[in-house]
Amino acid sequence: MFTKVHHVTYVVNSIQEMADYLEKNFGLKPEQTDEFTDRGFKAILYKIGPTLVDFFEPLRDDTTMAKQLRETGPGVMHVAWGVDGIDQAFKDLQGKGNKMVHDAPITSPYGYKTFNIELKSAHGIYFQLAEGEHS
């Protein structure tokens, strides 16, 4: 079912400090910087081979990522696994008893389709599946 690691998302205190660090130490420059005020975070996005790597900085204290940052500090928020046929994968996993965060796959702010399996269904692991490329 999995075709690749689609993307890895980290939560950090400051996306600017992370961008400076990545450029100084690894020569990386972000492909994109965004602010999603409606969703409560700022983001920087990198493309490393076929994998997207993004860093989120919470803008509000009431978001899941702000809670993670408070409780465990900076780190991996989730890994998204690439799939082909995301709508069918959603139905198949739901048919196997998995509870989903939404009623169907959604379109991410970056233009690809994605869905999340509820933590309780996946033994506490945040499984996200994604299909499509960054637009």
The pLDDT, as a whole number, for residue 99 is 96
- Distance separating alpha carbons of residues 130 and 1, to the nearest angstrom: 11
Q: What's the whole-model pTM score?
A: 0.86
Kindly list the domain boundaries of the chain, sorted by start residue: 2-131
Confidence of residue 135 (pLDDT cuts 50, 70, 90): low
Say which CATH class 2-131 falls into.
alpha beta
Nearest CA among 9, 25, 22, 106 for reference residue 57: 9
